[in-house]
Structure 1
Amino acid sequence: MTHATPETVFTYGSPQLKFGTGASAEIGYDLAGLGARRALVVTDPGISATGLPQRVGEQMKAYDVTAVVFDGVHVEPTDESMRAAVEFARANGPFDAIVAVGGGSSIDTAKAVNLLTTNDGDLMDYLNAPVGAGRAPSNPLLPLVAVPTTTGTGAESTTVCVLDVLSLKVKTGISHARLRPTLAVVDPDLMMTQPAGVTAAAGMDILCHALESYTARPYTSYARKEPSQRVPYCGANPISDMWSEKALSLLAGSFRQAVAHGEDTLARGDMAFAATFAGLGFGNAGVHIPHANAYPIAGRVRGFHPQGYPADEAMVPHGMAVSLTAPEAFRYTFDAAPERHLRAARLLAPGVEETGEERDLLPRVLADLMRDIGIPAGIGEVGYTTADIPDLVDGALKQQRLLATAPKEPSAEDLTGIFERSITLW
């Protein structure tokens, strides 16, 4: 019997990073340095109403860069909304750079626009298998500058864009190294007006990015691959571990404060750092079960309306959806790496009282935090019952790219148990 040779190589990638108060005023300078003269600014109606994208566009003029603003991004993007953005770009182009101003929805939509205005084919050609064809882009993409206005997704650091496929009622994505932004411009001033509900939900996305990449299967557990076969998500590695640990430490001191006191500039700055650091971690190591479960939770929502988000449609925000099965997912994965689960809990809650079974520590720390910041107490509070679980499990099992990163390979029965125990978390 022959055994596969274990992997000995991991890859690490990141965008250029510009961080600090006032950084967004310098985007024109940065674009000019990239050789850009005509940029498409991608944003959503809510951010557009603040005037921020228009201001960024005006500031570009000083460097002879012309901006065209598309403000039709759908919060929690769909295949339909992304196709509309692509059509706008095709009709109003050509452009030689793209600037995303907003949360993960705007940044992910900009990634899709960038891909489909530089490469042929349809969105479905590039979506992860088995939902789509999993095709890789053949042509280089334009320079993409990502300017986050929420502290959460880490989309400014990553190689993925996420969307709902409406006809299938499933959330999936596109993953390729060429989707990673060229430059991330992180300006904490842009995040000061983020509502408490958005701060809480998006912050749970930061937290789960850090926890999932930290507990992902190690890169050495994979079979050795040829260079052309290596994917951006290569498993936990020493560099991603460093970013994840730092993100957890920042969240320990800032998360509750940023939700309760959004005017606290220090807490906001720490959350912005944590979002970027966690993105630099999971954008290379990968995420696993909580994110796989989140896709059907968000994609099959019926009547839940979260605070701080547009009131005209039902949604479970991505970060909230990720968090709702996280305590039970980490209880399940504990056996694969007990020391990592325990260290993560201690980083997130220094001085936590360690009573009871060790496997319960991280779930307890997570549940305490979620309760404190107003996250629903399980999938039951966003409208799901035990009757929905088979459908949710089926949706999660479609996320094989994510589940392959889990430190334990979950069966349908394992996922069923995680969802059942997540109906009510406390």
Structure 2
Amino acid sequence: MSASGFSPEHPESVFTYASPALKFGSGARHELAHELGARGCRRVLFVTDAGVRATGEVDALAEQAAAAGIGVVVFDGTRVEPTDTSLSEAVAFARAEGPFDAVAAVGGGSSIDTAKAVNLLLTNDGELMDYVNAPVGQGRAPANALLPLIALPTTTGTGSESTAICVLDVTALRVKTGISHARLRPTLAIVDPELTVSQPAGVTAASGMDVLCHALESYTARPYTSYERKRPSDRVPYCGSNPIADAWSERAMGLLAGAFRQAVRQGDDRAAREQMALAATFAGLGFGNAGVHIPHANAYPIAGMVGPFAPDGYPADPHADHGLVPHGMAVSLTAPAAFRFTFEASPERHVKAARLLDPDAVGDDPRELLPGVVSRLMRDVGVPSGLAELGFGAADVDDLVEGSLRQQRLLATAPREVRAEDLATILTQSVELW
């Protein structure tokens, strides 16, 4: 081993952990102006979508900032499930309206991810595809530091306020991919459960399944010690399951067990909404460091290749050339089969996760325990019963496998080697779940 401690022949012995500063609680959104002022910001870009802006919350926050002497420009053109085109349009708007001292995202994961892309390209040269993960894009790392980014999530799901990842559809390739770099992580997350009360049941169900899969995938990810030792400069945000990420994931699962069904069925239950907001935050703090794997890799081609599917609770997109599958829904649909496949890598973790989500879960075959718990939860909150409900069938499996295999950054985090035939089995088993 060299004097620096690096040797590729030795297993990794170091894991990394990073997170944004966090402010959590009912009414926390009203402290945005204070946080901007404390950072010396005089001109700020707000990134949101038309639906969130229509609630009046964004303009109220802009007025509070103006009262504190801070100028605000609002971009409300975020698209649900952003595309390379929609992100490039947001970047063009921001470059034309700048300069800015900071960026604030108010909305779901789509708005927060759009803000990340805008922040990246306000501070670094080049175009969007230069930074998109290889092999879809060039995988270029940002050379310059980004502006402060403050994220105010309005959905309890994506965890984007905690992560260093921006997700997008590349429309020409009909594939969903991302940009991943530590500099994309928000500076501060302001999580106010009051912003989620108006979230429709369908959105609560889909985004909640994203929380669930974040927690489960990071908890079952390959351990950080299974990687070859890396130089400090080569470490990536996803480092594998580790004791700190595990603690966040376990806590998120416990909160989901008590609150998820109630938040879907009774959206104005403030206690359930607060628990879901905590669960989303905790899961984001976990997977934003450990990583996610097979269900997320499969979700990208599912969302990118879907036909005319319209989910409950989501507005129609007049600019879309295909249907919309919310990210959390796409992730969840192959989760039961994926966890059946990963079981042998860590049986005790899969069983423990099932017990955290459902302490009363029983079954003769421990391999089926977690898939059964996840499937029942999906059914209870109204998620589709399989890929067939989205219009996919056995004839689509090969194309879906090809799309999943492009997500090697995610598949590399799986606790078992994932071959094309393994993905084909998982996707086939997911056509009809019940």
How high is the TM-score relative to the length of structure 1?
A: 0.99
Quote the Cα distance in structure 1 between the aligned partners of 2:314 and 2:363.
38
Q: Which runs of 4+ in 1 moved over 6 A?
A: none
Work out whether 1:212 is the aligned partner of 2:217. yes
Q: Name the residue aligned to 1:377.
A: 385
Counterpart of 1:210 in 2: which secondary structure? Answer: helix
2:286 is matched with: 281
Where structure 1 has 5 or more consecutive residues not aligned to the other structure, the ranges are none
- Judge conservation of contact 2:294–2:414 (CA < 8 Å) in 1: yes
Look up the SS of the partner of 2:178 in the other structure.
Answer: strand
**The one of 90, 107, 125 aligned to 2:112:** 107
* Superposition map of 1:7-406 within 5 A: 7-312=12-317, 314-352=323-361, 354-406=362-414
Distance in 1, matches of 2:139 and 2:418, equals 23
- Please say if 1:421 is aligned against 2:416: no
Counterparts of 1:407-418 in structure 2, within 5 Å, are: 407-418=415-426
Change (3 A) 1:181 1:3: closer
CA distance in 2, matches of 1:24, 1:319: 25
| Alignment partners' CA distance in 2, 1:335 and 1:255 | 28
Q: Give the superposition deviation at 1:3.
A: 7.5
State the distance in 2 between where 1:135 and 1:3 align.
24
Q: Alpha-carbon deviation of 1:356?
A: 2.1
Secondary structure in 1 matching 2:380: helix
- Conserved 8 A contact 2:264-2:381: yes
CA contact (8 A) 2:8 2:228 kept: no
Q: Residue type of the partner of 2:45?
A: L
Higher mean displacement: 294-303 or 62-71: 62-71
Which segment drifts farther, 232-241 or 45-54? Answer: 45-54
- Deviation track 1:277-335 (CA, whole Å, cap 9, x = no partner) reads 00000000000000000000001111110000013452010000000000000000000
- Letter aligned with residue 381 of structure 1: E
**3-state SS, counterpart of residue 340 of structure 1:** helix
The residue identity in structure 1 corresponding to 2:147 is L
Which digits, 9 at most, give the CA deviation of each residue in 1:51-82, with x for residues without a partner? 11111111112322111100000000000000
For 2:183 and 2:244, the matched residues in 1 are separated by: 20
Q: Which amino acid aligns with 1:127?
A: V
Letter in 2 for 1:216: A
SS at match of 1:163: strand
SS of match in other structure, 2:344: helix
RMSD in angstroms over aligned alpha carbons?
0.9
Q: CA deviation at 1:17?
A: 0.2
Matches of 1:45 and 1:399 in 2, distance apart? Answer: 31
User: How many Å separate the matches in 1 of 2:281 and 2:423?
Assistant: 29
Q: Which residue type is aligned with residue 364 of structure 1?
A: G
Q: Note the C-alpha offset of 1:362.
A: 0.2
Kindly provide the amino acid, as one letter, of the partner of residue 156 in structure 1.
Answer: E
Structure 1 CA distance for aligned equivalents of residues 296 and 40 of structure 2: 37
Q: Which residue of 1 aligns with 2:4?
A: none
Conserved 8 A contact 2:121-2:128:
yes
TM-score, normalised via structure 2 length: 0.97
1:115-164, CA deviations, whole angstroms, 9 ceiling, x for partnerless residues? 01100111111111110111100000000000000000000000000000
Gaps of 5+ in 2: 1-6
